[in-house]
Amino acid sequence: MSSEYSVELKGLNKIYSNLLKEDTVALKDINLQIKPGEFISIIGPSGCGKSTLLRIIGNLDKPTSGTISYRDGADQQMGFVFQDSVLLPWKNVKQNAEFPLVIQKKQTKENEEKLDELLELAGLSEFKTALPRELSGGMKQRVSIVRALSYDAPLLLMDEPFGALDALTRDHLNEELLKIWQKTKKTVIFVTHSIEEATFLSDRVIVMSARPGQIKEVVTIDLARPRGDVTRNDPRFAEYNKYLRGIIG
């Protein structure tokens, strides 16, 4: 099914059946419309089903009931950035980043040039021939993001991509991610457990509650773009954070 929205979720439920215990309702009646080019974050306490929701959007998991429609129909191309960078250890930075092009047989000169630009944008140009084991956690995650962007899928799904990084690296990568997003105009769905990260990055923040996993509130973040250090010092940034913290409880 195609949709005018980048992604549209209608009445999505996910129930894990268990013979010995009561069924676990991981997601209950999720309705969501995401516009093309939007930056959406999903936050909530652990176990609220936010990763499950992302995996369902990414076709890695199936909903028990409900429908998902994408803008480009059933074979929607999307990029997925996992919690761990999942780089292939035998491939160097360049080879890892272009891996999707190899798999999808899209190694055109144009795409290779775009890839070089992305590597440049992510500050990886000098590390093209480095193996993953030689890189820091932050660098690996950058490669992983470039890989997800390399084949120009209009939809980018990110599952706590910076969760394992230290606060400074995380802030830095957040700014870089926004730069890349502004340049590539992707729709981004970003799962995180950091309220500040969600506020800083998003157009809208989806707040979820646990057991059953439901959408509690959708908060529009009306802060000027491009965002940077100025945004973090803006009193309204702190207000948004306080408000979100209040809802999550």
Partner 1 sequence: MKKKGKSAGFLRSVGEYALSIGVFIVVWWLYVGLKDVPAYILPSPPKVFKSLVEMFVKGSVYAHLWTTSYEVVLGFLIGGFLGVLFGYVFIKIDALKTMLMPYLIFLQTAPKIALVPLFVVWFGIGLVSKVVLIISMVLFPVLSGMMLGLESIPPDVRNLMKVLKATKWQVFTQVEMQYSLPALFASLKVGIVQAVIGAIVAEWMSGKQGLGYILTYASSTYDTPMLLAGIIVTIVLGIVTYQAVSVLEDRMLYWHESKKA
Binding-site ranges for partner 1 (CB under 8 A): 58-60, 75, 78-80, 82-84, 86, 88-91, 99-100, 102-104, 131, 133, 151
CA distance readout (Å), 37 to 46, 86, 99, 103, 213: 27, 26, 25, 26, 26
For the bound state, the minimum distance from the C-beta of residue 143 to partner 1, rounded and expressed in Å, comes to 13
Least distance CB 89 / partner 1 (angstroms): 5
Q: How far is the CB of 103 from partner 1 (least distance, A)?
A: 5
Nearer to partner 1 by C-beta: 21 or 133?
133
- Is the Cβ of residue 142 or residue 227 nearer to partner 1 in the bound state? 142
DSSP 60-89: SS--SEEEEEETT-TT--EEEE-SS----T
CA distance 208 to 47: 10
Cβ-based nearer residue to partner 1, 36 or 58: 58
User: Judged by CB, which is closer to partner 1: 78, or 188?
Assistant: 78
Query: In the bound complex, what is the minimum distance in angstroms from residue 77's beta carbon to partner 1?
Result: 8
Which of 122, 127, 213, 228 is closest to 175 using CA atoms? 228
Residue number, 60 or 164, with CB nearest to partner 1: 60
**Token pair belonging to 92:** 């160097």
Q: Give least dist CB 55 to partner 1, A.
A: 8
Contact partners, residue 13, CB within 8 Å, separation at least 6: 25, 27, 28, 29, 30, 63, 64, 65, 66
